[in-house]
Copies of this chain bind each other. A is one copy, B any other.
């Protein structure tokens, strides 16, 4: 198992855990746990493979990824009630998965397209999509619309990996830099509320008032 494989399994497993935690917050049944775990765990990588022209996608070629999602969902189903704050755990696991996936997505995008810009986007997309799908399907407020930094952390991870690779760092070092950057930025956002100053002038009015 290569380093990128390990990152990939780690990303799938922790994202699957966040999906199962969202299911537990919504008090779904066991199949709901498995479904949300699988969608969250594989969603980002599926879109990454599709836009890069790598179909059949990764979990069709290697179904063991699906087995990982099912296993994680079962473990969360029997242990989630032990956790003091499931939403806080969800956020931190999400940060780990996002960090792993920002590098995985960037590495695959760079390898296939050769373009650093594309690598940044596939890294960001892979890291963010699982969480977006989870929040949409489970009716949680989207991580994207929360005030703290999220997309920027994914971009930092992808950017760190791409920059390190371009200046000749070996794969292990570049990956470590990318994962660490993404996790530190997102961790700071969760722990200390790091945020860019938002766009302030004035909030949007409801469409009815405008038309």
Contact = CB atoms under 8 A, between A and B. Distances in A.
Among A53, A109, A202, which residue has the most Cβ atoms of chain B within 10 A?
Answer: A53
B118 A151 contact: no
Interface stretch (A3-11, A96-104, A131-139, A166-174): A131-139
Contact of A24 (B112, B142, B199, B205): B199
Contact of A59 (B28, B121, B151, B152): B121
Interface residues of A, number: 76
Contact of A33 (B22, B34, B199): B199
Interface in A97-135: 109, 112-113, 115, 117-118, 121-122, 124, 128, 132
B204 A151 contact: no
A51 B51 CA distance: 11
Contact of A112 (B31, B56, B81, B147): B56
A127 to B, nearest CB: 12
Interface of A: 22-35, 38, 46, 50-53, 55-57, 59-61, 63, 66-67, 77, 80-81, 85-88, 109, 112-113, 115, 117-118, 121-122, 124, 128, 132, 136-142, 144-147, 149, 151-152, 155, 195-205, 207, 210-211
